[in-house]
């Protein structure tokens, strides 16, 4: 029940009165322990009636209502007695009142002092019920102090064997504890009266800040150790000076250097007074080669300025010998890089205009790289190489890869035009220039205006016309046959020949000046016999191309076919190879190119004879075989002729999965590509 109470004493509910009230109340309670369950409630706060300190801190003023909460009901008479206890006027002599005031003041001061202590303090009674919590403790536990009051301490205080402590009467200091975001160390001490534990005081010391500082300190120490290690492990001399140039820190090698040179003790002894004075006046940094004793050092001084005042320097000194060694190394690396770049550039992709030119041999790649390089320029190009090596193909690719690709590309075969018609073919003619010239006709040069003219077989150009061509190349203009007016032209000239032009010059059949005029960028295409590695690639590419063109479906070649091709010398070069393939593919009656169908100068009839017994013939002729055996033979044959499951699948018209299954079934894995 709740009993409303009032007191009119001058000091309100003071300590002495509160102390006297407890034995008074005890008379009315059924048992000793009952007092623990009686509370005073005032201004929303509730404190145990026997917690004098807390009670006084309520500061109950005279005339204000407060309540007594007791378990169960008390009779009217008791209630009246209790109310009278507080209402009774006291014999308030001055001395008594002064004592009460002092007691009150002391209690409140003590209460305030404990409350203001930065350490958290929680007090509980013998029954482990919390009777006091100061502000710091409430913050550490992140709870309202009122909420903590009257709760059991062992449910809130961590690691506190509180019950045990009541028995042992020994204080306990915990290790580091985590209370929410705080790190604390707790001390639990028994409160002993007359050799009895009447309660426990728990003090929590917040060490979060200290922890943080000690962590930072550890990190700084580690950083310093790492820095020291770094500075000591470099071979350069490193030193720091103060504002007067005296060394205050140095790494091992700098220390050694200073010890060896007793007359060098400050920075100005190294860099000289003049440079030092520049630094004091605000110079940003100094870098120079300085001789000390017999050694030279590349010395770099970085000053540290604070508010424009020199406060110190960082100096590094590198032995000149080391720098030289480093430069040598850099030079070596540079050379290596250049070499690797050159190698790499050989393998880099060419412009798509060069895609039609098949081959991976170095000689061809080098020629194509050069062709690509000059395709962006207007330089005159002379392509040399035996007949059929791809000169025309390269000329067209140069045109296609260059900025003139949208302009005309005109090919003139100098060997195919009768000498008498050559001039009019090249330079055109005016109406009436000769009998039959009924209209003005523009020549190939004019047609190639803004584009490219490809003069094939230039070695066959009649000598009389060579002078004219030279003039055209030099003047960049032509005069039509029978005409007078020069016509300005912008034409790029690419010439080609399979003849030895230099020899023709020596024999007086080709003008030397024209030779040099054409020979600005020479590109030589190697004969096929010098790049036989390209034969399989070329053959495969021709099969693909010709299959399309001739509507055929050649899937591969008989074993030994490519070997035969690579053994042959190919005087007609790639043209000869292409023509042969065209002939064989169009005549082929099977899906495979067979050795026996090769010309006898490439594959001899005796060999053909031997090959007549090859497995595929055997397969077809043996009538006693089962279908399974035939299948095995077919897969065996395919495995020997193709490089992968994919190719076999394509050739046999089955799936990759089927090939894999069959090859495994017949144990043919090792034969693939053999």
- Site for ligand ATP (CB under 6 A): how many residues? 17
**Please, what is the minimum distance in Å from the beta carbon of residue 392 to ligand ATP?**
3
CB nearer to ligand ATP: pick between 456 and 558: 456
CB nearer to ligand ATP: pick between 206 and 456: 456
Asked if 357 touches ligand ATP (CB under 6 A), the answer is yes
**Segment contacting ligand ATP by CB under 6 A, of 382-390, 503-511, 547-555, 607-615:** 382-390
CA dihedral sign, ordered 361, 362, 368, 372 = positive
CB nearer to ligand ATP: pick between 91 and 548: 548
**Segment contacting ligand ATP by CB under 6 A, of 64-72, 92-100, 319-327, 388-396:** 388-396
**Segment contacting ligand ATP by CB under 6 A, of 299-307, 357-365, 422-430, 501-509:** 357-365
**Please, what is the minimum distance in Å from the beta carbon of residue 396 to ligand ATP?**
8
* Cα–Cα distance for residue pair 535/358, rounded to 1 Å: 10
**Closest CB to ligand ATP belongs to which residue?**
390
User: Could you tell me whether strands 556-557 and 592-593 are parallel, antiparallel, or unpaired per DSSP bridges?
Assistant: parallel
Angle between helices 94-116 and 15-26 (to 10 degrees): 100
Q: Which of 64, 236, 275, 392 binds ligand ATP (CB under 6 A)?
A: 392
CB nearer to ligand ATP: pick between 295 and 360: 360
Asked if 425 touches ligand ATP (CB under 6 A), the answer is no
Q: In this structure, are residues 550 and 392 in contact, taking their beta carbons and an 8 Å threshold?
A: no
Asked if 527 touches ligand ATP (CB under 6 A), the answer is no
* Cα–Cα distance for residue pair 130/640, rounded to 1 Å: 94
**Segment contacting ligand ATP by CB under 6 A, of 4-12, 222-230, 352-360, 652-660:** 352-360
Asked if 459 touches ligand ATP (CB under 6 A), the answer is no
Count of positions (residues) in the chain:
674
**Segment contacting ligand ATP by CB under 6 A, of 186-194, 236-244, 334-342, 574-582:** 574-582
Asked if 411 touches ligand ATP (CB under 6 A), the answer is no
CB nearer to ligand ATP: pick between 9 and 391: 391
Structure token digits, residue 654 = 């089955």
* Cα–Cα distance for residue pair 494/471, rounded to 1 Å: 16
**Please, what is the minimum distance in Å from the beta carbon of residue 556 to ligand ATP?**
20
CB nearer to ligand ATP: pick between 574 and 584: 574
Nearest to 498 by CA among 387, 579, 396, 642: 387
Asked if 578 touches ligand ATP (CB under 6 A), the answer is yes
Alpha helices in 551-611 (DSSP H): 561-567, 573-587, 605-611
Asked if 69 touches ligand ATP (CB under 6 A), the answer is no
**Segment contacting ligand ATP by CB under 6 A, of 157-165, 297-305, 370-378, 380-388:** 380-388
Residue 499's H or E segment, with its range, is: none
CB nearer to ligand ATP: pick between 169 and 544: 544
HSE of 643, CA atoms in CB hemisphere, 13 A: 2
Residue 494's H or E segment, with its range, is: strand 492-497
Asked if 370 touches ligand ATP (CB under 6 A), the answer is no
Asked if 385 touches ligand ATP (CB under 6 A), the answer is yes
Q: In this structure, are residues 130 and 106 in contact, taking their beta carbons and an 8 Å threshold?
A: no
Contacts of 172 (CB under 8 A, 6+ apart): 160, 161, 165, 187, 188
Q: Which of 58, 401, 574, 594 binds ligand ATP (CB under 6 A)?
A: 574
3-state secondary structure of 19: helix
* Cα–Cα distance for residue pair 578/549, rounded to 1 Å: 13
Q: Which of 151, 373, 471, 575 binds ligand ATP (CB under 6 A)?
A: 575
* Cα–Cα distance for residue pair 419/463, rounded to 1 Å: 10
**Residue indicated by tokens 């369950």:** 37
Instruction: Write the interaction track for ligand ATP spanning residues 495-524; mark x where CB under 6 A is met and - where it is not.
Output: ---x--------------------------
The residue ranges of DSSP E strands in 86-219, in sequence order, are 120-125, 130-133, 172-179, 182-193, 196-206
**Please, what is the minimum distance in Å from the beta carbon of residue 475 to ligand ATP?**
28
Ramachandran area for residue 475 (φ above 0: left; ψ -120 to 50: alpha; else beta): alpha
CB nearer to ligand ATP: pick between 124 and 546: 546
Asked if 558 touches ligand ATP (CB under 6 A), the answer is no
Q: Which of 145, 199, 245, 359 binds ligand ATP (CB under 6 A)?
A: 359
* Cα–Cα distance for residue pair 514/380, rounded to 1 Å: 11
CB-count exposure of residue 239 (10 Å: 0-12, 13-18, 19+): buried
Structure token digits, residue 510 = 């080709």
Asked if 390 touches ligand ATP (CB under 6 A), the answer is yes
CB nearer to ligand ATP: pick between 319 and 411: 411
Q: In this structure, are residues 586 and 600 in contact, taking their beta carbons and an 8 Å threshold?
A: no
**Segment contacting ligand ATP by CB under 6 A, of 500-508, 562-570, 572-580, 655-663:** 572-580
Give the strands of the sheet with 237-242, arranged side by side: 247-250, 237-242, 309-319, 295-306, 286-292
CB nearer to ligand ATP: pick between 356 and 437: 356
Structure token digits, residue 249 = 């820190």
Torsion of CA 414, 420, 425, 429, to 10 degrees: 160
Asked if 387 touches ligand ATP (CB under 6 A), the answer is yes
Structure token digits, residue 620 = 């077809």
Contacts of 385 (CB under 8 A, 6+ apart): 391, 496, 498, 524, 525, 526, 527
Asked if 255 touches ligand ATP (CB under 6 A), the answer is no
CB nearer to ligand ATP: pick between 90 and 392: 392
**Please, what is the minimum distance in Å from the beta carbon of residue 584 to ligand ATP?**
16
Asked if 452 touches ligand ATP (CB under 6 A), the answer is no
**Please, what is the minimum distance in Å from the beta carbon of residue 520 to ligand ATP?**
19
For residue 505, count other CB atoms closer than 10 A to its CB: 16
Q: In this structure, are residues 168 and 159 in contact, taking their beta carbons and an 8 Å threshold?
A: no
**Please, what is the minimum distance in Å from the beta carbon of residue 607 to ligand ATP?**
27
CB nearer to ligand ATP: pick between 324 and 583: 583
**Please, what is the minimum distance in Å from the beta carbon of residue 573 to ligand ATP?**
7
3-state secondary structure of 202: strand
CB nearer to ligand ATP: pick between 425 and 456: 456
**Segment contacting ligand ATP by CB under 6 A, of 381-389, 441-449, 617-625, 652-660:** 381-389
CB nearer to ligand ATP: pick between 25 and 528: 528
Asked if 455 touches ligand ATP (CB under 6 A), the answer is no
**Residue indicated by tokens 């009315």:** 28
Structure token digits, residue 158 = 């961590």
Q: Which residues bind ligand ATP (CB under 6 A)?
A: 357-359, 385, 387-393, 456, 498, 538, 574-575, 578
């Amino acid at each position: 029940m709740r009993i409303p109470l009032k007191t009119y004493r001058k000091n309100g509910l003071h300590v002495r009165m509160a102390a006297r009230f407890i034995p008074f109340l005890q008379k009315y309670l059924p048992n000793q322990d009952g007092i623990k369950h009686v509370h005073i409630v005032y201004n929303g706060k509730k404190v145990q009636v026997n917690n004098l300190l807390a009670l006084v801190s309520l500061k109950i003023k005279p005339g204000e209502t407060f309540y007594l909460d007791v378990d169960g009901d008390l009779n009217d008479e008791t209630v009246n007695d209790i109310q009278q206890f507080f209402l009774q006027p006291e014999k308030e002599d001055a001395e008594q009142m002064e004592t009460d005031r002092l007691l009150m003041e002391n209690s409140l001061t003590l209460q305030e002092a404990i409350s203001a202590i930065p350490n958290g303090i929680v007090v509980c009674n013998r029954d482990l019920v919390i009777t006091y919590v100061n502000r710091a403790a409430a913050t550490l536990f992140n709870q309202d102090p009122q909420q903590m009051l009257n709760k059991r301490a062992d449910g809130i205080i961590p690691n506190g064997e509180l019950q045990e402590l009541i028995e042992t009467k020994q204080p306990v200091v915990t290790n580091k504890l985590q209370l929410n975001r705080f790190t604390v160390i707790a001390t639990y001490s028994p409160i002993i009266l007359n050799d009895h534990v009447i309660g426990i005081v728990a003090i929590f010391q917040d060490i979060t800040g200290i922890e943080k500082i000690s962590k930072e300190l550890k990190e700084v120490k580690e950083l310093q150790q790492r820095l020291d290690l770094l500075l000591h492990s470099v071979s350069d001399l490193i030193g720091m000076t103060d504002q007067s140039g005296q060394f205050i820190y140095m790494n091992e090698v700098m220390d050694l250097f200073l010890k060896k040179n007793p007359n060098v003790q400050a920075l100005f002894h190294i860099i000289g007074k003049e440079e030092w004075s520049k630094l004091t006046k605000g110079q940003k940094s100094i870098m120079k080669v300085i001789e000390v004793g017999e050694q030279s050092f590349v010395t770099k001084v970085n000053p540290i300025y604070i508010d424009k005042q020199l406060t110190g320097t960082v100096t590094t000194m590198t032995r000149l010998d080391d720098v030289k060694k480093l430069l040598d190394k850099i030079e070596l690396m540079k050379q290596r890089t250049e070499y690797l770049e050159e190698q790499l550039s050989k393998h880099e992709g060419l412009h798509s205009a060069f895609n039609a030119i098949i081959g991976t041999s170095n000689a061809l790649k080098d020629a194509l790289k050069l062709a690509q390089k000059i395709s962006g320029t207007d330089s005159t190009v002379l392509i040399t190489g035996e007949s059929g090596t791809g000169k025309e193909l390269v000329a067209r690719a140069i045109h296609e890869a260059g900025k003139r690709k949208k302009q005309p590309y005109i090919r003139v075969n100098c060997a195919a035009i009768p000498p008498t018609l050559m001039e009019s073919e090249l330079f055109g003619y005016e109406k009436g220039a000769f009998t039959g010239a009924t209209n003005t006709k523009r020549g190939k040069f004019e047609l190639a205006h803004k584009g490219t003219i490809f003069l094939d077989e230039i070695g066959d150009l009649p000598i009389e016309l060579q002078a004219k061509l030279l003039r055209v190349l030099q003047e960049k203009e032509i005069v039509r046959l029978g005409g007078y007016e020069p016509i300005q032209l912008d034409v790029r000239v690419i010439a080609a020949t399979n003849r030895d032009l230099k020899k023709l010059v020596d024999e007086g059949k080709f003008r030397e000046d024209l030779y040099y005029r054409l020979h600005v960028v020479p590109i030589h295409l190697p004969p096929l016999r010098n790049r036989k590695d390209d034969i399989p690639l070329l053959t495969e590419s021709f099969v693909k191309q010709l299959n399309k063109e001739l509507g055929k479906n050649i899937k591969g070649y008989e074993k030994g076919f490519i070997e035969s091709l690579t053994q042959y010398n190919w005087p007609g070069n790639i043209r000869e190879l292409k023509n042969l393939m065209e002939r064989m593919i169009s005549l082929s009656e099977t899906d495979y190119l067979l050795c026996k169908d090769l010309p006898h100068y490439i594959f001899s009839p005796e060999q053909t004879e031997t090959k007549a017994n090859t497995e595929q013939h055997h397969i077809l002729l043996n009538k006693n075989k089962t279908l399974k055996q035939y299948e095995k033979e077919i897969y065996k044959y395919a495995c020997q002729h193709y490089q992968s499951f994919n190719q076999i699948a394509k050739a046999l018209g089955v799936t990759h999965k089927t090939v894999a299954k069959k090859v495994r079934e017949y144990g043919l894995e090792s034969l693939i590509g053999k």
